[in-house]
Chain A
């Protein structure tokens, strides 16, 4: 079957393209990209993308799909439904499942489940250490063969620097990036950012230095062993400063931040809304500005979601004991587009940070739109206004601090390997 996407503005930073171009999809792959493609065959399905943006599908390097073990929070099926709705064609799922993805059986389970039930591509991230305990290396090679694309003990840092060094060295033979969650446990004792808001709320607080000290350490380690390092969900001004400075001396550093760190500040926690509880915590205004600046300057390469769905009951408790995390797939693109509306990033930069750069980090051939490649693409509108309603989330996790927010810009269609996996009714058929 052929699908012709006609009349849209194609933005594909990987091929340096920004212009009015049509795309012809044949089966699973892109057959043709050209101006005004004419197809007379009435078997060709035509999608009118006039007034919209056509771009490579978004790739999320950091998400939690919760399966196996926490199916009451999310499943691979519901998670990929939510991801598809949000414009993601590929998501990397973190290893903190139950059991932990620290061996090939779990990896194989996730890969198989994603193949049979997933709407978009799911690429597992393997645990660096067994059981995420930080004590001994996981079976990295076996997991690699089963399909992991990265390594991370996300949720905590590998405390033992010697062990992390081994992981960086060992993973080199597979070309697997190490994704570092930066948090010094001895300093990170709290539930919110240490600042004026925590002083007022009385909530236990975590200072920004808890993140920065590990950012420094992990960069130093990576440099020493000449390994690549990816620092995930960067949230502080200090981290942006350290990474910016280090990148000048050492090229193999990449990092990501999440929409909540450039959209919200710690002031949101003042009402004890547990939907604002996230790790790392929402930071100060100064940090939020630095994150936006870091995205603009290019210090921050990637926007990830850290999609962390939770069941209602684990958020419907006192702030101290509530689960951490934000259900992020379905708001990430619109929150990122706000950076375009606010003249912080260009549309092309958004696509770079949400598709091209993630693909490069993971060593994927996707992230751009080229003839012969799988048709992983999205059609979105930058001007369409909508109101976030958690009840309409496809994710099981309704935990969002953005409920009720009016946002501008929306994904309208998601295609994975030539198959339309999400379509918004607002995308008019021709």
Chain B
């Protein structure tokens, strides 16, 4: 298979073959990061811009490291340093950046569809680094990569996603990606955080986390999306932690080899107890490591594709 897509806007736009192609391509890139000299010349002469209108530590750094390990030149723009604060529209910013002829632009924005708008006007590859409550495709791909790495397969897994699913782009992208495989997906959390019609995506809902985690292969915890109004969905953070925070007792109900995932940033003691986050079942830091490899693969596929 050859990669032909210019952009990575969402998992929804990807076929199962394309998801697998990215995952399979990731293996060879993961090895590079474990070398002494963590750099290959693959993308020498390519320019990669990260344009982040929302705060980010992991995703932005991960993309920057991924690009640098492939020898691309990277430029980071955040909302506070962009002309956004001077009243320039996103479209104008994009057009101006386009004039500088970058090869790829990674955008994170609070508004769904912002990457799609950019993709329509830019010749460079647009990668969605998270758009509002819509999608976060690279996160889902690194999550699937991590599941496959730890479990050896994706088919047959029971994946339980717990938390603010209504406001979560990570949940949406993961659900869409996992639906390409023969998986059982259970969404859990307070009813105010489970969006209406979620079952029409082919997932189950179980408000009670104690029931949801039974026999789980994967438990994915999400934080409360305070910036998207998640806090108004619950009476208090304390009550949320009591009712929906992942604790050791839940792990005991899951499969013996359950893995605990979290896209970060995590709030210790809220959605996840410290001993679980740091415990033997946690693969949270493996996710971060794999994130670099997956993003290297994506940058390579998108900017190195045949025109």
Contact = CB atoms under 8 A, between A and B. Distances in A.
Interface of A: 194-196, 199-204, 207, 271-272, 313, 316-321
A249 to B, nearest CB: 31
B196 A194 contact: yes
Given A195-B197, A199-B195, A271 B116 contact: yes
Contacts of B196: 194-195, 199, 207
Interface of B: 12, 89-91, 109-114, 116-117, 131-135, 169, 172, 195-198, 200-201
B105 to A, nearest CB: 16
Contact of B197 (A199, A203, A272): A199
A190 B109 CA distance: 17
B117 A201 contact: no
B111 A319 contact: yes
A200 to B, nearest CB: 7
A201 B195 CA distance: 12
8 contacts: A196-B200, A199-B195, A204-B133, A271-B116, A317-B89, A318-B114, A318-B117, A321-B111
B109 A201 contact: no
A240 to B, nearest CB: 21
Contacts of A320: 110-112, 132
B226 to A, nearest CB: 16
A195 B199 CA distance: 12
A319 B195 contact: no
B111 A318 contact: yes
Given A201-B113, A202-B169, A203-B113, A317 B133 contact: no
Contacts of B135: 202
A203 B198 CA distance: 14
A6 to B, nearest CB: 51
Contacts of A204: 133
Contact of A200 (B12, B91, B132): B12
B201 A318 contact: no
B172 A202 contact: yes
Given A199-B198, A317-B89, A317-B91, A272 B132 contact: no
A313 B91 CA distance: 10
Contacts of B134: 201-203
A176 to B, nearest CB: 39
Contacts of A272: 112-113, 116-117
A196 B195 CA distance: 10
Given A271-B116, A320-B110, A320-B132, 15 more contacts: A196-B197, A199-B172, A199-B195, A199-B198, A199-B200, A201-B112, A202-B131, A202-B134, A202-B135, A202-B169, A203-B132, A316-B91, A318-B90, A318-B111, A318-B114
